[in-house]
Structure 1
């Protein structure tokens, strides 16, 4: 019933991540969102059709593809309420409440770095992307990309043995482009395929920009290797900047159209990198925090050493608070607070709740 309810929420037309999160914040579980009184849904901005759909049993909304997904031993779901929901992805403005996954679930909580770029990559660009991915993967980072032709595919190839995550703009049961089908099967052995789209969702131009926010949202930073000035990779870079992630760019020849995207990003403040070490040195303490094992709960006598963390810890409670409420209590800006909350959540002292709220984890006695 529970998994069916999560999947059924995805099948309600126009019910995107923001409204799904509003429902979860109101009713706590996906199953509780269904067969509730219409009056309780009126103030959530839902349409009459959406409210009508929520009066049904979840199973009534499922397709044959949904039922196959739920019954297959090779497919899985990662729900917003799961302990291994990717911690960085929780921090973006519209995180998907449900992820459809295939492969090694343990990759969800690994520190990730995105490598993206042109679909029409040069031979040199593909070699560069593959080399960066291999070196960064061997350093402990899981490489994320979009399974597109060109730079994306090269990045996945470079990190095949260390672990790579492919984020799809289609359903996770459909590999697009089909030229990368064999690569996708190899990815599943050591890495993970992720999508927020329900099974049998085909390729559609509007879904790929949404896919890009997940690529950047999962990652500590985004590395651009070759991109034209109007490349979709620059959308991923812009989203990364908006999400507070690091943006890196590999420079190229001033004569190559594929250098214009990286050079533009460098002019706008992206870090120019020439080696994997350049990337690792910029990622800083968040990379180290993500590599450490997360404690289940904070020790009873834990005192933050960082004075800013101490202010945040003192301002919080075991009841969820919004970031705005916490910022007002401890006198920090939202930008300053966001990084602190992320470090404390990764370390296992705080947890995020639906609706962008945070609370302390109960201490160990």
Structure 2
């Protein structure tokens, strides 16, 4: 369903993406069901009411969306919608893809083969040196290097790849430079590389934004290399997401005496490829399985009638808990047709009673 949107359709697409309780999964289900963002927007009040919501759903006004578009354009950034042909194929193939991203700089870098290099913020000098050297070697081998512009390993990876090609994925808006001491690095990436964000310009990142940022880092890449990571590092979340997305995962081994090696050593125990240099990355990518068809993300679902959805909705709500489970498990437990259960979950999500998560998971709110 790759297609170029009109300006009006792009505004509707962005407006739907910024609506309260609509994440990537709910967005995909709505577009698959209604075909156009404008039709989904028109249906939202009734869907949320049917899901049990008493107050109006928070849908941005057209003026707010126009202000976001103007702010992005003032920065020289471009809005890319997931259905459009210039949206990065690696992200379009995710299940589900991010509905929109903002990009600033050389956008063509997102269409080239890429490897993510991530790791500890409080990185050792040796870890930073390794990340910088690996990034330079990956660039020489024809790969763009993707990272999150954080302190430590991320910053070193961007520095190593800057001359050849690097993409920085931000947790906040496209203009949210964090840490502040990376402002000069940010400006150089804008000039020579590319900066990407899923959030609106002007937004300051909060904790919940970083898992989504990490999903984009792995999503843009064929492989993720973790250089240093403590046992509860965010880099391990990136590695897990990469594995779920069918990307290759590599880890740099370290001394058992260094807490920053616990995460990477554990990844190797779990089956991640050992990385001691660019040759290991190239070897791992020889088996890269490629991408699924992006079109599947917005394939029309089998329709369910309102009566079928009404009959199952509260039964589905009663099966949910704060612990995420697969939607297939909910379908089995409900003993109802999958289309009706999925439609009921979308209504419950819009009402704030459920959360549809990537990886086919759902949780109660």
TM-score interval (norm. to shorter): 0.7 to 0.9
**Are 1:19 and 2:26 an aligned pair?**
yes
Residue 202 of structure 1 and its aligned partner are, at CA, apart by 1.1
Whether contact under 8 Å (1:8, 1:59) holds in the other structure is yes
- Give how far 1:226 is off: 1.1
| Displacement of 1:340 | 6.6
Counterpart position of 1:175? 177
Counterpart residue number, 1:59:
62
Question: Which blocks of at least 5 consecutive residues in structure 2 are unaligned?
Answer: 1-7, 302-365
Call closer, same or farther: CA 1:199–1:73 in 2, change over 3 Å: closer
Q: Distance in 2 between matches of 1:37 and 1:255?
A: 55
CA shift at 1:104, angstroms?
Answer: 0.9
Counting matched residue pairs gives 294
Match of 1:151 in 2: 153
The answer for the alignment partner of 1:330 in structure 2 is none
Q: Is the 8 A contact 2:20 2:57 kept in 1?
A: no
Name the SS for the 1:352 alignment partner.
helix
Between the aligned partners of 2:91 and 2:50, the Cα distance in structure 1 is 23
Answer whether contact 1:84 1:108 (CA < 8 A) is retained: no
Q: Which residue among 295, 301, 313 is the counterpart of 1:352? A: 295
**C-alpha separation between the residues in 1 aligned to 2:56 and 2:105?**
33
Question: Cα 1:35–1:167, aligned 2, differ >3 Å: closer, same or farther?
Answer: same
Which of the pair has the greater relative contact order for Cα pairs under 8 Å at 6+ separation? 2
Deviation of 1:260 after TM superposition, in Å, equals 1.3
How much does 1:191 deviate? 1.6
Distance verdict in 2 for CA 1:50–1:127, change over 3 Å: farther
1:49 offset after TM fit, Å?
5.4
> Residue in 2 aligned with 1:289?
none
Aligned-partner Cα distance in 2 for 1:191–1:44: 46
Other-structure match for 2:78: 76
**Compared CA separation, residues 161 and 37, structure 1 to 2 (3 A):** closer
| Residue 285 to residue 268, structure 1, CA distance change in 2 (3 Å) | closer
Whole-angstrom CA distance in 2 between matches of 1:38 and 1:357:
21
Q: Does 1:216 align with 2:224?
A: no
Displacement of 1:239: 1.3
Aligned-pair CA distance for 1:42: 5.8
The 1:118/1:38 distance shift into structure 2, 3 A limit, reads closer
The verdict on how the C-alpha distance between 1:105 and 1:47 changes in structure 2, with shifts beyond 3 A counting, is farther
Q: Give the distance between the partners of 1:163 and 1:241, measured in 2 at CA.
A: 24
Once residues 37 and 204 of structure 1 are traced to their aligned partners in structure 2, the CA distance between those partners, rounded to angstroms, is 27
What is the Cα deviation at residue 231 of structure 1? 1.1
Match of 1:199 in 2: 201
Q: Is the Cα contact below 8 Å between 2:145 and 2:158 reproduced in 1?
A: yes
Deviations 1:105-162 (A, max 9, x none): 1112111111000000111110100000010011111111111000000001111011
Structure 2 residue aligned with 1:186: 188
Change beyond 3 A, Cα 1:179–1:70: closer
Contact 1:120 1:149 in 2 (8 A): yes
Question: 1: CA distance between counterparts of 2:54 and 2:199?
Answer: 23
* Uncovered stretches (5+) of structure 1, i.e. residues with no partner: 287-338, 346-350, 359-365
Offset of residue 168 of structure 1? 0.8
TM-score by length of 1: 0.73
Matches within 5 A, 1:32-43: 32-35=39-42, 38-39=45-46, 41=47
User: Could you tell me which residue of structure 1 aligns to residue 347 of structure 2?
Assistant: none
Match of 2:35 in 1: 28
Change (3 A) 1:245 1:254: same
Could you say if the C-alpha distance between residues 126 and 10 of structure 1 is closer, same or farther in structure 2, counting changes exceeding 3 Å? Answer: same
